[in-house]
Structure formats: C-alpha cells, structure tokens
C-alpha cells in the first residue's frame, strides 16, 4: 500500500546528531558562507556586472535576473574527504571561472576527521555530491522591503513556522518537518539557526504517474559581514545525506538535491539587494524543459521571503490579538461602530464601506484598509486566507523597528520577564500610535557599540540590524556569535543611524499630519455642501 502525506510525526525517523557531526556541519556551513560572500564581493567589485563568459542569461522577473553557468562542473571520480567540496580540478585551477583557487576547499585532514561519521554508509554522499557538482545558477537583482523580514521568514524553528514558509513559497506542499535543531535563536542572536530540515514537493499529477520529490537539507541562517563591514543576511539550504533518514520510496517519493545560498543586503529606500547562488537537481526521468521550468520557478521564488516575513508577522499579530479579544470578550466579536478608527469617516449609505480590521479589530473604511494574507494551521500543514487589514497593522508588519516572535519565544524559554520589554500599544480614533500584538512585536534597539577585535570576517552571526546600510561603532561579542576566527577590521563606519525613538516620534507626527489633512478635507467638503456658492476646492 502506498503511503500518504503528511506523515505522522511519530512515524518519521528520528535524527540524532553527535557533537562531532554538529561541529563538522558548523564548519561546513561557515565555509559555504565564506565562499558565497567572496562570490558576492567579486560581483560588487566588478560594478555589479555579471561575467558573461561564465554566465548566460536564462530568465527574468520584475527586477531580478537569472543566469545559468555555461560550463557544467565535471564530477571527480575519486572519493572526496569532505562531501561539500568542489572537484579537485575546479578548486585547484588558478584559471577557474570563479576567479579563486580556494572555493569550497579547506584543510581536508581536519574536516575529514570531524565528518568521518558518514564514511560508514556507501551512499552517504550521493545527494551532497550532486548538490556540489551540478550546474550552478546565479540570480541577482533587488526587491522592495526590509532585509529583516527575509530573515524572519528564513528563521523557522517550529513545524508551524516551517509550514507557513513552505506553503507561502511553494504552495503545493505535501509535507515538511524540522528534523533536528543544532543551534537555535537566543536573545542576542534572534535569527540564528543551524539544523536539518525536510521538505516534500507535491506531484503535479497522481503519484503513480509522477512521483513526489523530497529533500533533506542542512539549513543555516543569520547575519554576516563583508570585508568592508556591510551587514548581510544569509540563508543557505544544502542537501545532505542522513543515514537515519532514508528515501521514502513506499510513498512514491524520490529524493532531489539542492544547494541554494542567498544573501540579502539592505539599501536605502526600503530596497533589498538579492544575491542567490545555487541550483536544484530533480531526480528521476523528467522531461528537460519541465525540470528546467521547476528549477527556474524555485529560484525566482526565493525573493518572496521578504513578503513571507511580513505575512508571518501579520499572522502572529492576528493570533495574539485574537487571544486577547477572546479573554476580554468570550463571544470573540468585534465591537460594532460606524466611524473609521483612522480617518474618523462615518459610514454612509453610498460610498466607502466600514468594517473591522481582521488583525486588530479596529473599525476602518475602505480607504484605510488593504487586502493581505495570513496563515491558518490545519494539522501539520495549513493554508493562507485573505483578510482585510488596516494600514496601521500593515505598517507594523513592515516596520524594521518591531521585534519578531522568535526573540519573544527565546526570552520566554530563558525565563525572562517580557512585560517591561514588549510594546503594547493600540490605535484609537486618533490613530496616533502603531498597532502591535502582545508578545510578537516590540521596538528593536540599534546595534551595540563594542565587539572583540578578533571576530571573524565571514562568520555565522545573528542579531538586530540598522535601518539602513550604515553601521556605527563596532559589534559587541555578546550579541554577535562567531563560528571561527580570522582577521576583521576592529572598527566600522561611524555613521550613526537615526534612533528608534526619533523614528517612532516621526511616525506618530506623520499620522497626526495625515489626520489633520483628512479633517481639513472633510471640513471643506462639508462647507461646499452647505454653501453652494462657496469656492470649489478640488
């Protein structure tokens, strides 16, 4: 009998990680990150121009461009001591198209020993071999939003959060799971993650005709720095072979390989620069154009992480506000009123309608609300539903000054008191404050001003980020946790971003000015109606 998805959690194989494996995967992630940042720095040094001798244009969408590597790396027949290394010929050749001889190549004696646990399986490196040697793709461009929102989406440590992200990005999700978390978030490192995850892409046809595709991968997320001191958010997913998690052939499922490594850089004006390097290999006999289309769609969907972060915040806000509302009103209904809580417009027989924001419950008119999507859990997976949100909630979900739920959860796990740290504000008829949900949003402070001078250049680190692409002072070692040590400048640019308090005050003033403008306009309209001979204000 063919198994069905999703699989009950107690039926999934248990993944156990030894300290040696943890250390080896940590070094592997750090080296992939260092190589990725070096590729990005070469791209920046070249004036953000793609080397057409290495890359050929493949597809484009909005402000994003996708390229494919012209040369397919040749697989070395000799066994490798490290499963993530590139071929010896490619990594040693000084004339390699990558422009470097050290890519994915480090001390094999050390890394081979810390990952010797894999040598007991003859097929333990098949997926990792494919992930390292398949033809690469490059995606560059920009998208509107905040880098922090992309990191919020990438940081999924629970079944519910992972289902939210996978459904948002791929829609046709058969199953997913966080197999093992080696390193999670903390108060100092709210976005840091290192662990194993599993994802099943639902077949577009009956599984007897086209089988499902699944992937077991090592995932890392957090922040790192360039050689010039700029903050980059990173999200890396790299296929691995786990002896304790074999292929699920009884579920008509084939294992695919992927290596997707993404960098996000915040630019002024709510613009995020995106740099993605990697590819996806579809296992089995699939027509070439179909496989190519799947790979293209997978890579072009990665920038949706920014939108996913906003949807994740809105979902958390809606859940927290619903819990508060049920505690105050057992029936859970919103109070009925005919006046918009933002612009004070009264409901009219004809014209704009008035309804409640489905996140915070405030009555809003059609001009003060916008359609959005929030996630509704349904067992192990779930779905997104369309809701009407007031503009204040949308701004709160977009705002980089609002801390995400992972920090709150980390504080709760550590037994810390959140009452004095979480901002609890609600928008009244004057709409003078931004609406936040208890436990899910709070003000995010600026970067700390001290850090050990021996911090690494491309280390895995996590923490809050400034509102633009400038930094002040240097980092504090207690807030940014490095993995390995190397040289790094001890000081950073001294440009000081605006404080959170001043930005919050500016935001409140903007709301007040908007309210005064609305009142003035309404007064002029009433005068025009009462005094037909008065001047017309259009």
Over residues 148-202, the pLDDT tens digits come to 999 999 989 999 999 999 999 888 889 999 999 999 887 767 889 999 999 998 8
Q: Phi, psi (5° rounding) for residue 382?
A: 165, -170
For the chain, give every domain's residue range: 9-300, 312-413
Q: Identify the residue whose tokens are 């840091």.
A: 192
pLDDT of residue 20: 95
How does residue 352 score in pLDDT terms, banded at 50, 70 and 90? low
Lowest mean pLDDT among 20-24, 35-39, 186-190, 278-282: 186-190
What's the rounded mean pLDDT across residues 92-118?
39
> Model confidence over 417-448: pLDDT tens digits?
333 433 333 333 333 333 333 333 333 333 33
> Model confidence over 193-237: pLDDT tens digits?
999 999 998 877 665 667 888 899 999 999 999 999 999 999 999
Q: Identify the residue whose tokens are 């359609």.
A: 371
Q: Identify the residue whose tokens are 């740290």.
A: 421
- Asked whether the predicted pLDDT for residue 523 surpasses 80, the reply is no
pLDDT of residue 435: 37
CA angle 352–356–362, rounded 5-degree value: 110
The answer to whether the beta carbons of residues 66 and 139 sit under 8 Å apart is yes
Compute how many other C-beta atoms are within 10 angstroms of the C-beta atom of residue 448: 18
Q: Round to the nearest angstrom and report the end-to-end CA distance of the chain.
A: 71
Q: Which residues contact 348 (CB under 8 A, 6 or more apart)?
A: none
The answer to whether the beta carbons of residues 214 and 198 sit under 8 Å apart is yes
Q: Identify the residue whose tokens are 């509704």.
A: 376
User: DSSP assignment, residue 182?
Assistant: E
- Predicted model pTM: 0.67
**Residue of higher predicted confidence among 267 and 329:** 267
* Percent of the chain clearing pLDDT 90 (strictly above): 29
> Model confidence over 110-154: pLDDT tens digits?
344 344 444 333 333 445 555 555 678 999 999 998 999 999 999
Mean pLDDT of the chain: 71
SS3 304: helix
The answer to whether the beta carbons of residues 54 and 72 sit under 8 Å apart is no
Cα separation, 115 vs 69, whole angstroms: 30
Lowest mean pLDDT among 11-20, 105-114, 121-130: 105-114
What DSSP line would sit under 11-40, residue for residue? GSPPP---HHHHHHHHHHHHHHHHHHHHHH
- Asked whether the predicted pLDDT for residue 397 surpasses 80, the reply is yes
pLDDT of residue 518: 67
pLDDT of residue 476: 37
Lowest mean pLDDT among 39-53, 122-136, 285-299, 356-370: 122-136
> Model confidence over 457-503: pLDDT tens digits?
455 554 444 444 443 333 333 344 333 333 333 333 333 344 445 66
What crossing angle do the helices spanning 159-170 and 305-328 adopt, rounded to 10°?
130
Among the four given CATH numbers 3.40.1110.10, 3.30.420.40, 1.10.1270.20, 3.30.530.20, the one describing domain 9-300: 3.30.530.20
The answer to whether the beta carbons of residues 67 and 57 sit under 8 Å apart is yes
> Could you tell me which residues are beta bridge partners of residue 281?
257
pLDDT of residue 365: 86
- According to CATH, the topology of domain 312-413 is Herpes Virus-1 (3.30.40)
**Residue of higher predicted confidence among 285 and 337:** 337
pLDDT of residue 138: 94
> Model confidence over 366-384: pLDDT tens digits?
888 889 999 998 889 999 9
What DSSP line would sit under 248-291, residue for residue? -GGGTEEE-EEEEEEEEEEETTTEEEEEEEEEEE--SS--HHHH
Cα separation, 337 vs 212, whole angstroms: 50
Cα 300 to chain center, whole Å? 14
pLDDT of residue 508: 67
Residues making up the chain, counted from first to last: 538
The answer to whether the beta carbons of residues 127 and 216 sit under 8 Å apart is yes
How does residue 47 score in pLDDT terms, banded at 50, 70 and 90? very high
- Asked whether the predicted pLDDT for residue 268 surpasses 50, the reply is yes
**Residue of higher predicted confidence among 306 and 125:** 306
- Asked whether the predicted pLDDT for residue 278 surpasses 70, the reply is yes
User: DSSP assignment, residue 482?
Assistant: -
């Amino acid at each position: 009998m063919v198994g069905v998805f999703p699989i009950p959690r107690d039926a999934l194989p248990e993944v156990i990680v030894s300290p040696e494996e943890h250390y080896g995967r940590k070094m592997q992630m750090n080296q992939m990150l260092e190589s990725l940042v070096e590729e990005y720095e070469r791209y920046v040094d070249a004036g953000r121009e793609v080397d057409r001798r290495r890359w050929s244009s493949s597809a484009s969408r909005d402000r994003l461009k996708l390229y494919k590597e012209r040369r397919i790396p040749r697989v070395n027949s000799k066994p490798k001591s490290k499963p993530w290394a590139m071929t010896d010929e490619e990594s040693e050749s000084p004339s390699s198209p990558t422009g470097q001889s050290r890519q994915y190549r480090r001390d094999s004696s050390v890394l081979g020993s810390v990952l010797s646990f894999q040598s007991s399986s003859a097929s333990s490196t098949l997926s990792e071999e494919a992930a390292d040697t398949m033809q690469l793709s490059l995606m560059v461009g920009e998208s509107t939003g905040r880098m922090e929102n992309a990191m919020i989406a990438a940081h999924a440590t629970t079944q519910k959060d992972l289902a939210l992200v996978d459904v948002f990005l791929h829609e046709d999700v058969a199953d997913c799971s966080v197999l093992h978390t080696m390193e999670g978030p903390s108060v100092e490192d709210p976005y840091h993650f290192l662990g194993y995850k599993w994802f099943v892409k639902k077949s577009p046809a009956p599984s007897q005709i086209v089988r499902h595709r699944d992937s077991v991968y090592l995932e890392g997320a957090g922040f790192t720095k360039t050689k010039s001191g700029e903050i980059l958010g990173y999200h890396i997913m790299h296929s691995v072979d786990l002896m304790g998690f074999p292929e699920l052939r009884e579920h008509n499922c084939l294992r695919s390989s992927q290596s997707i490594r993404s960098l996000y850089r915040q630019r002024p004006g709510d613009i995020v620069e995106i740099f993605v390097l990697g590819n996806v290999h579809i296992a089995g006999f699939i027509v070439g154009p179909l496989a190519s289309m799947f790979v293209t769609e997978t890579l072009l969907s990665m920038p949706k992480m920014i939108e996913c972060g906003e949807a994740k915040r809105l979902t958390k806000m809606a859940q927290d506000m619903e819990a508060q509302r049920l505690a105050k009103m057992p029936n859970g209904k919103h109070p009925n009123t005919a006046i918009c809580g933002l612009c004070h417009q009264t409901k009219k027989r004809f014209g704009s309608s008035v309804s409640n924001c489905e996140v915070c419950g405030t009555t809003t008119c059609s001009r003060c609300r916008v359609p959005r999507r929030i996630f509704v859990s349904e067992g192990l997976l779930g779905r997104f539903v369309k809701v009407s949100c007031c503009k204040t909630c949308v701004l709160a979900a977009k705002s980089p000054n609002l801390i995400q739920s992972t920090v709150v959860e980390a504080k709760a796990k550590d037994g810390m008191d959140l009452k004095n740290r979480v901002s609890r504000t609600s928008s009244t008829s004057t709409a003078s404050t931004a609406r936040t949900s208890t436990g899910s949003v709070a003000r995010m402070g600026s970067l700390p001003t001290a850090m050990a001078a021996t911090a690494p250049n491309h280390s895995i680190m996590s923490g809050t980020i400034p509102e633009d692409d400038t930094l002040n002072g240097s980092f504090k070692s207690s807030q940014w946790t490095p993995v390995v040590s190397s040289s790094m400048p001890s000081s950073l640019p001294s440009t000081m971003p605006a404080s959170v308090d001043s930005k919050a005050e500016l935001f409140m003033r903007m709301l007040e000015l908007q309210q005064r403008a609305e009142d003035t306009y309404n007064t002029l309209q009433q005068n025009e109606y009462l005094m037909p001979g008065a001047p017309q204000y259009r």
